[in-house]
Amino acid sequence: MPENPSPVEYPIRPSARFLLEQPAHLIALGFGSGLSPVAPGTAGTLWAWAAFTVLQPWMNELLWAWVIAAALLLGCWACSVCARNMRTADPGSIVWDEIVAFWLVLWLVTPTGFSGQLLAFTLFRFFDAVKPGPVGWADALFHHLDTVNDRYAWHKAGFGIMLDDLVAAACTLLVISAWRFFQ
């Protein structure tokens, strides 16, 4: 008879309690926006837009660059920890990747009015949700992590979570740049 076999570990569904258990969860779940029962990625992107709008009067180009760079590094850590604790490589409720990627988009399209920001939002959500071409490729790179045999797998998870949204941001910026060029 085998010794106590390890129980199957099912993914954890995040809750308000899970959100507040540790700072990594709070960050990765977008300060609660990732708990949205409908379209958490869209909720996270809307949170990013609101936060950008609120912070913009006190920010300059260099400060945004530092904030986004720090948020990327912080996000790799927080998303790894949260994904490990949720027992899944890329949970939909982790939205820090959308937040940072959309901050990058807004930072690079500013100055622009509401209609320009709305266009950026729509394009970013399209690329992030549909995952055409390079976005789908980036998304698939880290989805098959061997968390049992690869002791570094969970460290890679955070980078993988962040990567496809950065590619979606790059695609968004490419389309906006092409549109401005041909205008």
Query: Is residue 2 scored above 60 in pLDDT?
Result: no
Q: How far apart are CA 8 and CA 112, in angstroms?
A: 50
Query: Is residue 151 scored above 90 in pLDDT?
Result: no
On whether residue 17 sits in a domain, the answer given is no
Domain extent, residue 130, equals 38-182
Sign, CA torsion 31/35/41/42: negative
On whether residue 150 sits in a domain, the answer given is yes
Query: Is residue 152 scored above 80 in pLDDT?
Result: no
Closest CA to 45 of 128, 138, 132, 147: 128
pLDDT at 147: 64
How many domains does the structure of the chain reveal? Answer: 1
Instruction: Give the pLDDT confidence of 90-123 residue by residue, as tens digits.
Output: 899 999 999 999 999 999 999 999 999 999 999 9
pLDDT at 1: 44
Please state the rounded mean pLDDT for residues 63-73. 98
Pick the range with the lowest mean pLDDT from 18-27, 137-146, 162-171. Answer: 137-146
pLDDT at 90: 86
Query: Is residue 8 scored above 80 in pLDDT?
Result: no
On whether residue 99 sits in a domain, the answer given is yes
Rounded mean pLDDT of the chain?
91
Query: Is residue 6 scored above 50 in pLDDT?
Result: no
Closest CA to 165 of 85, 81, 62, 79: 79
Q: What is the pTM of this model?
A: 0.91
pLDDT at 50: 98
Q: How far apart are CA 34 and CA 94, in angstroms?
A: 6
Which strand (E) or helix (H) includes residue 67?
A: helix 61-86
DSSP 13: P
On whether residue 20 sits in a domain, the answer given is no
On whether residue 145 sits in a domain, the answer given is yes
On whether residue 73 sits in a domain, the answer given is yes
Please state the rounded mean pLDDT for residues 67-86. 96
Query: Is residue 7 scored above 60 in pLDDT?
Result: no
Q: Tell me the pLDDT band of 87, cut-offs 50, 70 and 90.
A: confident
On whether residue 25 sits in a domain, the answer given is no
Q: What is 129-173 written as a DSSP string?
A: HH--THHHHHHHTTTT--TTT-TTHHHHHHHHHHHHHHHHHHHHH
On whether residue 28 sits in a domain, the answer given is no
